[in-house]
Amino acid sequence: MTTSRLYSSKKFIGAFLLMMVCVLPANAQFLRTSYFMEGTHYRQQLNPALIPTQGYFNIPVLGSVNATVGSTSLGYQDIIDIIDDSDNFYSNPDFLKRLKDKNDLNVNVSTEILSAGWYKGKNFWSFNVGVRADIGASLTRSMFTFLNEMDALEDNWRNSNYDISGQKLDINAYGEVGLGYARQINNRLTVGGKVKVLLGIGNMNLKINNVMMNAELPSDARINQLQNIQFSSDPAQAAQEIEALRNEIKGYHANLAVNAQLESSFKGLELVEENGQDYISDFDFDSGKLGIAGYGFGIDLGASYKIMDNLTVSASVLDLGFIKWSKGATKIASANPEAINIAGDNYLTGIDPNNIGGSITAVQTNINRLQNDANGYMDRVNGGDVLDYEMLQLQTEEAHKSRKSSLASTVVVGAEYGFFENKLGVGVLSTTRFVQPKTLTEITFSANYRPKSWLNVALSYSAIQSAGKSFGLGLKLGPVFLGTDYMFLGKNTNSVSGFVGISVPLGGKKSNKEG
């Protein structure tokens, strides 16, 4: 495949969302609704100690596909609008009204290319090869306001006061080869774990720490007036006019301060500098060069304990590990250019109430200087882009060593009570996932009906990430499993997920297993 520009500055967010959803086929790697569904093996993704009733073989690729999109403020339709109209989405008044001061977005996708589990005596073994990705972004309302106002009025840059600091983007995509083991110690306690070799596909961390601008500059019409200025023939009146003009010019100013960092480890990603510039002017991504950019290691640990016949508690820690990204695949850039600091005091040379004739020439000279400097400021701030290369001036640096990134670890705690010989269960589950840019915590309540090993039905309610406005469903019908933690309920849904799995049973059922 030939090199293609995935990122133009105007379409930065849209391009990244497309890459999140499409290009990186890869971490909502679990379904909370499945946690208490005893007839499913997918709950082992949340706790390796929750062994199923019998072995399984997942249909390659389709055996386990999971995707979640969640936002603190943006709905499903907002995200579609960003992708479909990435040039002008920020000019939509309804879109701007829905924004909070800080807006977090997480897109997580996973798929199992190959996976299976089987009993060997009292031990349960599992094996998987999968691809996963965690993508998180944090965007402030002020950035969208800045884009909208700069785009709406051509001269807004002249009289502006914006702070668009605090934008973040994190991507972590990797392959996983895992080997799991679980054992029922006694009638009450079951323990399990999984070790994973990780194959790094790519990692990116972009932080726009500080972008602050403030300006009060003359309009083109006022500049034209000043370039052709004449003072009163009355010396006293002229002196007053010159003094008033000095005070006016003193009030003109423009300031811009920038600080940003980019770390990326993607094979095929190039940071482009064009036209003799010493800063990045674009990102080029050659998907044909995509490959392994790093290696790592991870573990999952879990346990389940039956306090009494009908009450079971369980806990696990998932994805304890890291990926070490190779020096050769790593690109580093930072932006801390010299701040723009235009001060009106610097444009008063020769403007003297006691020298009327000389002041006319001095005004013209100073205003020409001010106009040139103001144009330089305009060129930096008036791009109206989500990622404005001219404003940031990210300069590449040599990667002197490899870098590491941690996995998005998860802590899981659950409790369930069974009724009617355990055919009906109610449970509560707490998950805390340490993703970027902000840790995600969820409390899920569920009811589970499991009359047969081939038939399981679950209804769940997750209270936090969907702001209490969604619910989940899970259905196991023979070899097919369908589920969601956040049901799609229309265009304003801000959290939505889907899980599909198809598996083939292996071996006989284990009647003495821990549920």
Sheet of 269-272: strand order equals 4-7, 282-285, 269-272
How do residues 413-446 score in pLDDT, each as one tens digit? 999 999 988 889 999 999 998 887 778 899 999 9
Percent of the chain scored above 90 by pLDDT?
44
| The dihedral formed by the CA atoms of 382, 388, 391 and 394, expressed in degrees to the nearest 10 | -170
Contact (Cβ atoms closer than 8 angstroms) between residue 474 and residue 481: yes
- Fold of the domain built from segment(s) 4-217+252-337+393-506: Porin (2.40.160)
pLDDT for residue 276:
66
Q: Of 61, 107, 40, which is closest to residue 408 (Cα–Cα)?
A: 107
Tokens of 46: 């949340």
pLDDT for residue 496:
81
Say yes or no to pLDDT of 36 above 70: yes
- Which secondary-structure segment (H or E) carries 236? helix 235-251
Task: For residue 431, list its beta bridge partners.
Answer: 412, 442
- What is the phi/psi pair of residue 443, to 5°? -115, 125
Q: Taking each helix axis from N to C terminus, what angle separates 356-381 and 235-251, rounded to the nearest 10 degrees? A: 20
pLDDT for residue 20:
38
The domains of the chain are located at: 4-217+252-337+393-506
Helix (H, G, I), strand (E, B) or coil at 9: helix
d(CA 224, CA 478): 80
d(CA 268, CA 19): 14
DSSP symbols for 385-428: -SS-HHHH--EEE---S-EEEE---EEEEEEEEEETTTTEEEEE
How do residues 372-386 score in pLDDT, each as one tens digit? 999 888 888 876 555
Contact (Cβ atoms closer than 8 angstroms) between residue 150 and residue 163: no
Tokens of 135: 């993508």
How do residues 121-158 score in pLDDT, each as one tens digit? 889 999 999 999 888 888 888 888 887 887 766 677 88
Contact (Cβ atoms closer than 8 angstroms) between residue 351 and residue 363: yes
Contact (Cβ atoms closer than 8 angstroms) between residue 300 and residue 193: yes
Tokens of 47: 């706790």
Q: Per-residue confidence at 25, pLDDT binned at 50, 70, 90?
A: very low
Contact (Cβ atoms closer than 8 angstroms) between residue 380 and residue 340: yes
Say yes or no to pLDDT of 5 above 50: no
